[in-house]
Structure 1
Amino acid sequence: MQGKARDIQRFLLWTALCFASAVLASRYLSGPGGTSMLWPSAGIGFAVAVRYGLRWTAVVLVSSLLFTALSAPSALYMVLAVAGKTAATAIAAWYVLRGRALHLRIEDGMRLLGGGVLQSLLSAAFGIFALQQTGRLDAAQIPEAFVRWTLGDMLGIAVAAPTILLCTTTRNPVHKLSPFHEPATLRERIFWIALLATSFIAIHSLGGRGIYVLGLISLPLVLLLWSALRFSPVWTAASTGITVIYLGAATGMGLGGFTAPRTLLETAVLLLLLCLVAVIPVMMALAGLEQRTTSYALYQRATRDTLTGLLNRTAFEEEARKRLATTEVPATLLYLDLDNLKIINDSTSHVAGDDMIHAIGGAIAAAVGDEALVSRTGGDEFAILLPRAEAGAIVEARRLLNEIEAMRVPWGDQVLTTTASIGLVSATPQVDGRDYDTLFSHADAACFAAKELGGNRFHVSYPSSDEAQAHSAVMRSALRIREVLEREQFLLYVQPIVPTHQANGEGVHFEVLLRWQEPGGRIHVPAEFISAAERFRMGPRIDRYVIDAALRWLERNPQAAKRVASCGINLSGATLTDEHFADYLAARLRRSSFPAENLCLEITETSVVRDRQRAQRFIGQMRDLGCRFALDDFGTGFCSFGYLSDLDVDYIKIDGSFIRGLEGSQLSQAVVRSIGDIAHVIGKSTIAEQVETEAEHRLLQEMQVDYAQGYLFGRPQSIETFFAAPAVA
């Protein structure tokens, strides 16, 4: 009911406006012979039909009936004129729309211009036909009347239609400007209005004193171009309409030095000039609007995350640095990471995961309010800079955790849920100087700690704490690892693997170990940097480096390579999930002289337990290349024997925790003996790690363990030293 009442009110308003403009035009905007120089009602009817639909041509029908009823000499003329105007408006509006929505761009402006020309021609044709049929127009007068009618309607459309469409089309981003566009101030607008009024006065007064009046038209035209560059299209269209109406009225009534056109040529030239004055500023304003909206869209794309609409990481960092540097308002940085989103991606699809991320991004933005900075920094991770001290931020963190846990996202016949881990660090000048990089590092570490504690919780980081210092050390190690990798400064060390029984000249077995030497000479063992490498997902890159470096050394030393029976190289758990590793290794082995069957890749039992199916596929790919496999740290992955027969490995390396103190532990002896027996049953060899005493060695021989590795047989040493030793040479 409310919608119908609103439509009725709107219909009555536009009908009254259309009727009133026709009356005013016929009285004040008519030239010699009674033909109106400017017909705004044509523009009003055209704009209403384009804006609200073809059925709204009823506005033209009713207003034309009212107007012609006052002036029509006969019923026939009234019927023909009203039908002609209504049909012309409907056809022109159909031409503009034709199933396409208007967005008031340059392309749409050209469509409107074409529709306006079409309506003017049709309306003139129908109107001249009505006059001719009722005997009010001689055949000799038809060409002149047609031109005057067409140009009058066209000027009326150019004056009224843009303003109405721009004012009523609220769905279009008319006022959405680029952040790089500085809007006009109120003072500038007032000054502009004063100048426009002054130009009207100048035209009226100076034109009446004999100064060439057409030259004075340049004064308001310059101001309209100014408006097109600085003001909104609505402002420009309205002021252009007012200007053209003033010039048309002054010409029709002979005011301010204007002389009404007497001939057809004078009329055509004047009306075409006024049409240009009406169209050019509006087209320029639309071009400026299109440019600003385009730059706004590009700005959005450069600064916003496409999935959530939140700030992207680059824009967030820039704005966060600015806020932290320019204000001393308390602030807290939150780093939020969703728990186990990979389960959603793997069990449903990545599209479902994206839906979850989108929903959570909206919930975060709504929860923290407009004062906070919110960003999706990548994947399922978010960063939030709250303008609150630590206590207030903790309250917000608790609320976020509860809202995310309670969120339900429907997906097909499933309902998706997840939780989050949040790291917090307060931006206190006394501790960290409000440095963004430091804050982000500590917040990331705190989030990681929350996730390690089980997730669905928050963890507060204090930069001066031991935990924060340890994280900083890991960060420094990660930076050093990247630098060492770039400069290829890792050292290859090896440790021998010896058979526990007679070797029978089968060749040299060894495991490649990595060392990192500082410029001062200090050598770092893997335990000092491997955690940093795993934390920052650098394992696959290190593995590729080790493989390439080992193969290059063996290729440069073919005599040493001939003596190698097995070169063991450890692979990180992340390498098992690297889809491109198989291609890399295949390409590297193709150009290597070292036999692939002498390369033994070692993977840990814990990485296998994490994803057994992926591990089996990875082993199959590597074995297709000719490589052998060893299952490292065996015995630490729980229920190991249950899947041992499914893994196509050549060696089982018994974890050193069972070997240390073997002679004094009946349990360890039982475990080692069981591993050896089962391995032999399924056709695999065993290697005992961390063998340090002769007693342990003897027990391993009794238990039929095939190989042993440890300090008893040799400490890790450089590969050059290892192969230079007499026992190897």
Structure 2
Amino acid sequence: MNRLDQIARPESSASTLSQLRLYGVVARFLPVSYRNKIMLIAFLGTHVPLLTLLIFFALRSGSFWHALPVIGVALAATLLGTGATLFILNGLLRPILMTREAVSAYVTQGRLPSLPLTFTDDAGRLMADTASSLLRLDATLNTLTYVDQMTGLPNRDHLLRRLESQLAEHRPVALCVLALQNLDEIIAAYGEPGAVTAFRTMAARLQSVAAEQAIVARIDGRRFALTAAVAPDAPSLADQAKLILAHLCQDIRDDDFQITPLITMGIALAPDDAEDAQTLLNAAQTAVPAATQPDIAFYVPATQSSLRRQMELQRELRQALERREFSLHYQPVVTLDDGMVAPRIIGAEALLRWNHPSLGAISPAVFIPIAERLGLIEDIGPWILATGCRQLLEWDKSGLPPLRLAVNLSARQFSDRRLVQMIADAIGRVSLPAHRLEVEMTETAAMQDRAVTRRVFGELRELGITVAIDDFGTGYSTMSHLRDMTFDTMKIDREFVRDVDTSPSGRAICKALIELAHGLDIAVLAEGVESGAEVTVLQSYGCTIFQGFHFGRPVPSEDFARLLPKQALPASL
């Protein structure tokens, strides 16, 4: 159901209908278009009197042929004047038509208007008032739809929406559901004001302990939710949960009452316990203990199997490389200029996959943190690089266009002083031109040791290798750091790209990042693009390079090759 359908529509008043009586009569006749009606009336209003006068004049003159030149000149002058009048009328009617189109687009598609706000006459004020009213209406509807009115926190729907986006990034997530178990006692003792105070205090305390990227929400009458991005390490998560619970259970003191909240917490982990938001929320709610004192409980399958699974994965991961269980999938990187009919693939990002013979496909979000913690990434990283470089040459030999390959570097790899030489050896062994390799580093990892970052980036670029900053905007870099570091490509994180066509804040951030990249003479790539509407908005800001499900999912090398035409195309970003 459209959100506007939920708004009651008032009946038209008698005074309003009386003012529209003439309009109601005219509206029944063709043409249907409001603008065409006005044009027709203006045309008839100028020509009917004139033609009547000319005919009368011709009949009275006694000689029609003698009066014909006069009639022709008068008619031509009238047509010219009418044409100019209709042209101006059409321009004067544009504000009304644009306003109608903007309202219709918002009602049917939810698209916010882009009407000008600078005109000051009646039509200009109509456009400005319509635009501001729709913006306020949209903000109000969003608040009613996604915000809990008592606490100002995101509600259940908003939580599920954002949680689904986090899970799509394939990173481990913990969802904590907290229940105020003694709500009935609080209401019995202090009434509704006591319950409101307890809820608002819980909301404020949760926000104060939540991490920057965490989601805090109120999901029903007595329950709240908190997310955390965690390593698959249940003991440390339990310690954090105990600290949060202790903070929440402190007494709430007010002038009229003193409340000791009794709060219990249930925790579920993704991807161990669930792979979608609703299932994860159900698991966390199931885990909430109905206790008589503050308590924490993990979802039962997680407590029994998560640690065993971690130990099993560690053991299997040590042998996965020699068993040849790893493979690379490739996600297209495309360019799409305003003049292009269709996107053109200019590169690919190599993404590691692990297909265990008995456990099946294992998410990179699960095994890559383990590989880094165990130091196995030092062996896996060179394998990724060598395999990707060989694949490029195989595509070349098949007659496919030359592409640029992007590979990711972890923070642990970046701290290895042999990294640059290892990369140089890898491209040297297969005689791959250096400019066809791009190394990616997340913004957060790049900022950990800026001196090392500057050195490594500089050495890689001296070799001719392209350097990209991944997940840009999610770390903690500053403008001075960007000035000191030299890199070639900025990848805008999907957190900002998502819903850029409907989110004013997302549009502002993406536009600023694209302008920043252009100002620094850096290529800019939008990742995580999932719709044509997002592409259109990003193109309007000057972004022409994209990556995301809208253009293609990561696929094996043979499937990726089928996406490419067998012709020579330049490889440049």
Give the TM-score, by structure 1 length: 0.36
Larger Rg: 1
Higher relative contact order (CA 8 A, sep 6+): 2
